[in-house]
Copies of this chain bind each other. A is one copy, B any other.
Amino acid sequence: MISFESDYITGAHPKVLQALIDSNLTVQSGYGADEYCASAREKIKLACNCPEADVQFLVGGTQTNATVITTMLKEYEGVISATTGHIHAHEAGAVEYSGHKILPLPHTLGKLKAEDVKALIEAFYNDEAHEHMVFPGMVYISHPTEYGTLYSLEELTALSEICRSYNIPLFMDGARLAYGLMSNQTDVTLQDIARLCDVFYIGGTKAGALCGEAVVFTKHNTPAHWMNLIKKRGALLAKGRLLGVQFDALFTDDLFFEIGAHAIKMAEKVKEICAAKGYSFYIDSPTNQQFVVLDKETLERLRKEIAFNIWEWVDDDHAVVRFATAWSTTEEDLQALEALL
């Protein structure tokens, strides 16, 4: 079936798969002490232009968000997030599971504003009773956001400055970072992110890997006894090589960026097709997720031939649907979509 359901509908990019095949019989120590993890770490640090970074591998996105947040926060701290933030809305309470509160803020197309973050922090410290409240201890943003939108360099810089002025780490969820970096409408580079964030992750699962996220602690600031902390959370892989091999492949010959660029190209074509057919967009998304308004009849007709997600119903007769592209999206997929719309 043709599917625009998500960016994790197929297996690994062929080059990632080939790396798994090539490395399969080599003997390696477990728990991340393998040569592939070591190599991938160096390549990522280079790509980030951040020699002082630590790079740590984890399996999936929610695991990564919850682990990074709850190992970096002090016990009396919580994390600021947009109400639309994945950690707040769609991770089953994984942050709270570890005893930490999320401090929600309103969003603009999925994004936090620096001035709102500043206002929250100042209101907190101005409150005489703030020892009875959860301390703001981190800012969580996603880039692209859950709406596919992107922070501009100016916006990201402003957030970073606020965070640094209060000595609060800025954490970027980069589950779909490949598509953010390769968007036609971004001025933010991987190096900018490494410079402006205290920690962020480079999503592998949604960018051509079978699984895996690479956490970049940009200031050699991995929490002490990280291996123990992730073991305690059930996040330590015995065959850590599975993550190392894949990220080593993704960061060889710019594969990661190539994957991002392909999906962006496909998404731009989706946008063109939909616009040409007269459909309207819920959001003008610059990344690999396109949010299109369909009437119910069209929606039902398409559903028989193509897989996609219903984002939300606008009214009884119209819904926003999401078309997501990936490394495996083909021109044939686009033609089929065009024919059906």
Q: Which residues of A are in contact with B by a Cβ distance under 8 Å?
A: 1-3, 5-6, 8-12, 14, 17, 20-21, 23-30, 59-64, 66-67, 71, 74-76, 78, 89-94, 96-102, 104, 126, 128-129, 131-135, 205-206, 210-211, 224-225, 227-229, 231-239, 241-242, 307, 309-310, 313, 328
A30 to B60, CA, bound (A): 13
Beta-carbon contact of A131 and B228 below 8 Å: yes
Beta-carbon contact of A205 and B239 below 8 Å: yes
Q: Given A6-B30, A60-B236, answer yes or no on A96-B99 (Cβ-Cβ < 8 Å).
A: yes
Beta-carbon contact of B93 and A232 below 8 Å: yes
Residues of B within 8 A of A90 (CB): 129, 132-133
Of B14, B67, B234, B328, the residue contacting A67 (CB under 8 A) is B234
Residues of B within 8 A of A26 (CB): 10-11
Q: Report how many copies the assembly holds.
A: 4
A205 to B328, CA, bound (A): 28
Of B3, B9, B75, B310, the residue contacting A232 (CB under 8 A) is B75
Distance to closest chain B CB from A317 (angstroms): 16
Beta-carbon contact of A228 and B17 below 8 Å: no
The residue on B at minimum CB distance from A67 is B234
Residues of B within 8 A of A89 (CB): 133
Residues of B within 8 A of A5 (CB): 29-30
Residues of B within 8 A of A129 (CB): 90
